[in-house]
Chain A
Amino acid sequence: MDFFSVLYFRFKKVWKAVRLYLVIAGPGLVVMIADNDAGGITTYAATGAKYGYHLIWFLLLLIPVAYYVQEMTVRLGAVTKRGHAEAIFESFGAFWGWFSLIDLMFVDWLTLVTEFVGMTAALSIFGIPAWITVILVVLLMSIIVLNGRYWTWEKIALGFCLLNLIYIPAAFMVNPSISSILGQGLIPNLPGGLNNELFFLLMANIGTTIAPWMLFFQQSSVVDKGLQEKDINMGKLDTFIGSIITVVVAIFIVIVTGTLLNGAPIDDAATAARMLMKTNHYVGAFMAIGLFDAGLLGAICISLASSWAFGEIFGWAHSLNTKVKEAPWFYISFFLTLATAGVVPLIPGAPLVLITLFVQVVAVTLLPAALVFLILLLNDKKTMGEYANTPLQNTVSVFIVVLIIVLSTLYGVSALFPNLFQ
C-alpha cells in the first residue's frame, strides 16, 4: 500500500473511534462538569482569593481521584445494568439499601437547596428577583426533562456544560502572569505551612470533587443511556476527559480570583462576582453567569439522581426515555424534589448557612458507605466477571477511597465542631 492509502485508512480508523466516542460521551462529561456546582465554584473562588495560584498543583492531583472513583460506576452500570441504589439493595440487603436511599434523598435535597441559593444569588447580580429565578429554573428543568428522550436531555445538559467553560475566557481577560502561575502553582507547596485554615480548604476541595450524588447519578445515567460492556472503554475515556475538564475549569476560577481578589475575604461565589465587577465588569458578569450555570447543572443532575434511585427501588418506570404517562412517579418525584428545594431560598430568614453546614455533615454519612459499597461490588467476581477490579485497580482505588473517607470525615467533623482542630 502506498503512503496515502495507509494515511487514509488510519484517518478512517481514528474518525470511526471519534464518532463512537461522540455517541457514547455524555454521562462522564456531564457528571464531572456538574461536579463544579455552586458549592464547588465558591470553594475554588475562595481557594484562589486566599492562596492565589499556590494550590493549583493540589487541584491537578484531584484528576486521578475523581477519575478512579467515577470510572468504577461506569463498569458497574454497564455490566449489571442497574443503578447504584438498586445494586446496594440487591447486594447488601434492605438495611444498607434503605440507609443509602434515605440518606441520598436527604443529601440530594439539601444540596439542591444550596444550588438554588447559588443560582438566585448569581442572577440577583443582574437585578433578577429570587422568585423569578426559581420559577424560571423549575420551568426550564421541567421542559428539559419532559422531552421524553435521554439523548435530547443529555445534549442539552452538554450545552450547559459548555457554558461552564466561561471561566476560561474570564481568566484570559484578567491578564494573569503565566510565569507566576507556573512558578507558584505547579510546584507542590503549602503556603504558610499546614495550618487549620489551609487544611479546611484542602478538605473542602476534595469534598467538592467527590460527592455522593455523583456515584448514584453516573451509574444510573450509564444504565439509562444503555451502555453495554463493549462501551466501557469509551465510557472510561468520557469520564477521564470529564475529570480533566472539571479540574481545568477549577484552575481557571482560581486564576481569576487569585489574580484580581488575592487576599480578599470570599464567603461565596456571588460575593466574588460582585467584587470582580468593580474591577472588571465583564469578568464579574462571567463569574455570575458561570455560577448560575454551575447551580443549574448541579440541580439537573442531583434531582435526577434521586428520582432514578427511587424508581429503581420502588419498581417505577424510571427512564428519561419514557413519557410522563408511562412514568408518572419518576417525574412527580423529580418535580417535587426540585420545587420544594427551590422554595427554601425564598423563605425569609431561612437557615441557609445551617443548611450548607448540614450538607457537609450529612454527606459524610453517605459518601464513605457508597464508596465502600462501590469497591465491594467491583470485587464481586461472580457479577462483574472480567470487569472486576484488578489487584492494581484495587490498590489505587482503595488508597483513594480511604483518603477521601478520612479527609471528608475530618471535614464533616470540623464543620460540626469548628474549634476541634484549633
Chain B
Amino acid sequence: MRMLKQFRSKIREINLRYAKPKVEMSKGVKFSLAVLRIYLFVLVLLMIYKFITVL
C-alpha cells in the first residue's frame, strides 16, 4: 500500500515537472501535433474495430 502511494505521488511529481511543454509552440509544431493526434485517433479506432470484429 505504501509503495502504491509512493508510486502515485511520483507520477504526480512527474506530471507537475513536465506540465508545461518547453518547446516553442509555433504554428508548425501545433500543426504537427494536431496531425499526430488525428493519426493516432484513427489508428486506435481501427484497432478497436478489429478487436470488436475478432471477438
A interface list, Cβ under 8 A from B: 89-94, 96-97, 99, 313-314, 361, 364-365, 368-369, 372, 375-377, 379-380, 382, 409, 412-413, 416-417
Contact = CB atoms under 8 A, between A and B. Distances in A.
A365 B50 CA distance: 15
Given A416-B46, A417-B50, A93 B19 contact: yes
Contact of B36 (A93, A368, A379): A368
Contacts of A91: 21-23
Interface residues of B, number: 22
A382 B24 contact: yes
Given A92-B33, A368-B39, A416 B50 contact: yes
A328 to B, nearest CB: 14
A377 B23 contact: yes
28 contacts: A90-B22, A91-B22, A91-B23, A92-B23, A93-B20, A93-B21, A94-B15, A94-B19, A96-B33, A97-B18, A99-B40, A314-B14, A364-B43, A365-B40, A365-B43, A369-B40, A372-B36, A376-B29, A376-B32, A377-B23, A380-B24, A409-B43, A413-B46, A416-B46, A416-B47, A416-B50, A417-B46, A417-B50
Among A314, A365, A368, A376, max chain B CB count under 10 A is at A376
Interface of B: 10, 14-15, 18-24, 28-29, 32-33, 36, 39-40, 43-44, 46-47, 50
Contacts of B32: 372, 375-376
Contacts of A382: 24
Nearest to A97: B18
A365 to B, nearest CB: 6
A92 B21 contact: yes
Nearest to B25: A92
A93 B10 contact: no
Nearest to A377: B23
Given A94-B18, A96-B33, A375-B32, 4 more contacts: A92-B33, A93-B21, A369-B40, A416-B46
Report the 6 A-B pairs with minimum CB-CB distance, sorted nearest first. A91-B23, A93-B21, A89-B18, A94-B18, A94-B15, A416-B50
